[in-house]
């Protein structure tokens, strides 16, 4: 297995918005916010298979996600906002009230 750096873009997904009515503690919401999506070719390059866990590390912290293939540009990963992404963010908000959550360079390590 290989380690590689990617660009992480975190944001809210439409499915996440509908699940908020079910509750953030629901199994389905937790599964969604603990899943990262990346290009199948990137997964193959670093030795990840669908359903496998991977550690994502930034300069601020790290979190473990379950990996799935999707329509994501090569070199990029997507994760819906949630408790795991909070572990990856720094505290600086540049006065906006929301830490930087787009365009992070991250390391992805297959587990």
Q: How many domains does the chain have?
A: 1
| Model confidence, pTM | 0.80
Quick: pLDDT tens for 47-58.
999 999 999 998
In degrees, to the nearest 5, what angle opens at C-alpha 6 toward C-alphas 86 and 76?
A: 90
3-state helix, strand, coil in the chain (%, to 5): 20, 35, 45
Quick: pLDDT tens for 34-82.
899 999 999 999 999 999 999 999 888 999 999 999 999 999 999 988 8
Give the CATH number of the domain where residue 35 resides: 2.40.40.20
Residue 89: count of CB within 10 angstroms of its CB: 18
Which has more confidence, 23 or 83?
A: 83
Share of the chain above pLDDT 90, in %: 41
Domain that holds residue 42: 4-110
């Amino acid at each position: 297995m290989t380690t590689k750096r990617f660009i992480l873009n975190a944001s809210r997904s439409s499915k996440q918005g509908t699940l908020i009515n079910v509750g953030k503690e629901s199994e389905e919401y937790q599964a969604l916010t603990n899943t990262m999506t990346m290009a199948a070719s990137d997964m193959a390059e670093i030795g990840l298979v669908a359903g496998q866990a991977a550690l994502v590390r930034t300069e601020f912290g790290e979190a473990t996600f379950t990996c799935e293939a999707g329509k994501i540009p090569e070199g990029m990963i997507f994760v819906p906002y949630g408790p795991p992404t909070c572990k990856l963010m720094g505290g600086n908000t540049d006065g906006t009230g929301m830490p930087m959550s787009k365009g992070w360079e991250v390391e992805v390590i297959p587990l």
